[in-house]
Chain A
């Protein structure tokens, strides 16, 4: 009988065709040096929260510049900064400002960066639609529910506020690896990652939506976009931060009244990469379109003036973080951003 080695032929063919492709590609790179059309690769990575925005920017930029290859990864804020500090990527998305140790790592590796706020993200606190008693909660009440000391103790709505009915309290919240969890705990409990553990935690927000919509005494928190896509199944709770209950919306986030559960999202761009024309164009494109695209994918675009201020910041190559590299900060308002922007510009002049 004759042995058949079709599969060997197949693998060899695969190797050969790949080698041929590789050769072609390198040849192609050396010939495309003409200036007018942009080429090259832009590597974007980082937070899964920022991903929908960076993906939208990449998609539209790619359409206008077919010669440029834009890739967007999803390593999380922390993972993104690690790659960024190693110089492996050009731009990283972050759902919080850079931390001191991440800043130190960048410095150690000689990576300089410019911080670009790109949109606002708001967190929604929601209850079951059958919940008739709870329209708003104060930050202190939320803290009472979520702080580590509440574990095993606060198990009934009647314990949250006198006047609430005797109804078991079932909690749903973000998984401990998410930026949402970091920010919620920092904003409500006062310490990042400090939370009770006896609640349904999931990285999959759909599970949280299902959970809250099926349990009468449920309370949960997640990104505002998830509420907006499931409005019929959930009831939004207004947050009282000392000046009356406020529900999250575009207006209340932008005027700074929905606090402390709104946060800015950022892109960090490597200054060295910014010297490449395609990266400069990408950042310009991002700043010109971020407002519209953020709204489209479920976030809240910043006011135009902020994008203009940031454009100046990029043009003047003002490096570093306007937040002093202190990580999650609660209650960051646009007014503060302006002040910091102005201060840092003055400082650089």
Chain B
């Protein structure tokens, strides 16, 4: 039973307990932050010297000082755009259907449960799926397109879940108002629901895409290469991405390659931070414009 009567002794004991809890909490935060700071400092010290224009303009090389991330950076950018082009329409569309149009029955419930479960599947499994379905069965080969399709699968559960959360925050009164004025269901979704839900949808999309940028395992499985001396020129080109390039450098015996890997990590971190910052910025910007 919780003690209702508050005696001075009881209060002093509870106060001490709270202080201990706060101390433990602060220590945990300190530990986590210190680890992060140490890691980041080491990466920055190791890699900062390598961050010069040539590092961005050169293809991989056996000579560490001449090796660059041009192919990897461009590959990552293409992969990101292509993944977004595939995953956003499908993901947002699926969320709209499930939330706004579909009847609640055993089928939609099953779809929902499966989507939630898919969000927890390890990424390498998506890689194996992509290898069999896109690379082999659909004969896309080890191409940019196969990579983007696989990454789109990986991003979809998060996009769908986040979009549905966003759609659910739209008050029912808005929908009712729109329908009462004679708008069709589609017009209601298009002009009333989507604009209001947009900040949450955008946040979900960007966060899932930043996960895509950082993934290594599924791309290694479907066959992203580690050396390529040309930029991808079509959907069916071979490609490499930043995390794969970094991974490849870390396994080299020469220390100069470790510095390259550190510099690559800095670029990847900067890219991820930019994307997350963009997500926060867009959310805040659109939230201010809400009519409610």
Contact = CB atoms under 8 A, between A and B. Distances in A.
Contacts of A203: 251
A293 B62 contact: yes
A3 B193 CA distance: 10
B60 to A, nearest CB: 7
Contacts of A22: 234-236
In the complex, which of the residues B78, B223, B236, B238 has the most CB atoms of chain A within 10 Å of its own CB atom? B223
Interface stretch (B25-33, B84-92, B96-104): B84-92
B248 A74 contact: yes
Contacts of B230: 62, 69
A296 interface: yes
B164 to A, nearest CB: 18
A4 interface: yes
Interface stretch (B44-52, B115-123, B194-202, B266-274): B194-202
In the complex, which of the residues B89, B225, B229, B252 has the most CB atoms of chain A within 10 Å of its own CB atom? B229
Interface string B223-267: 111111110011111100000000010111111001000000000
A104 interface: no
Given A15-B85, A73-B226, A55 B253 contact: no
A31 to B, nearest CB: 14
A73 B252 contact: no
Interface in A169-221: 203-206
B191 A3 contact: yes
Contacts, number: 128
A11 B226 contact: no
B61 interface: yes
A348 interface: no
Contacts of B85: 11-12, 14-15, 18
In the complex, which of the residues B59, B224, B233, B258 has the most CB atoms of chain A within 10 Å of its own CB atom? B233
Given A1-B289, A223-B253, A55 B227 contact: yes
| Majority SS at the chain A contact face | helix
Contacts of B205: 7
Contacts of B141: 88
B226 A74 contact: yes
B229 A58 contact: yes
A58 B227 contact: yes
B234 A59 contact: no
A5 to B, nearest CB: 9
Given A11-B88, A70-B229, A296-B62, A3 B223 contact: no
A1 B89 CA distance: 23
B129 interface: no
A226 B253 contact: yes
B28 to A, nearest CB: 27
Contacts of B81: 10-11, 14, 18
Interface in A1-60: 1, 3-4, 7-8, 10-12, 14-15, 18-19, 21-22, 24-26, 28, 41, 43, 45, 48, 51-52, 54-56, 58-59
A88 to B, nearest CB: 8
In the complex, which of the residues A11, A48, A54, A223 has the most CB atoms of chain B within 10 Å of its own CB atom? A11
Contacts of B53: none
A3 B251 contact: no
A75 B224 CA distance: 10
Interface residues of A, number: 53
Contact of B84 (A11, A55, A59, A223): A11
A199 B85 CA distance: 48
B281 to A, nearest CB: 13
A325 interface: no
Contacts of B248: 51, 74
Contacts of B84: 7, 10-11, 14
Contacts of A225: 253-254
Nearest to A54: B227
A283 to B, nearest CB: 17
B106 to A, nearest CB: 33
Nearest to B191: A3
B208 to A, nearest CB: 13
Given A21-B234, A24-B233, A205-B253, A55 B226 contact: yes
A15 to B, nearest CB: 5
A63 B230 CA distance: 10
Interface string A96-128: 000000000000000000000000000000000
Contacts of A327: none
A229 B255 CA distance: 8
A293 to B, nearest CB: 7
B229 A14 contact: no
B82 interface: yes
A105 B59 CA distance: 35
Given A3-B194, A14-B84, A297 B234 contact: no
B246 to A, nearest CB: 13
A287 interface: no
A75 B227 CA distance: 13
18 contacts: A3-B198, A4-B286, A7-B202, A14-B81, A14-B85, A15-B85, A18-B85, A18-B234, A25-B233, A43-B238, A48-B251, A58-B229, A59-B61, A72-B226, A74-B226, A205-B253, A228-B253, A229-B254
- 6 nearest interchain CB pairs? A62-B229, A25-B234, A72-B227, A3-B195, A56-B62, A14-B81
Given A25-B233, A56-B62, 7 more contacts: A3-B190, A24-B233, A55-B60, A59-B60, A69-B229, A69-B237, A72-B226
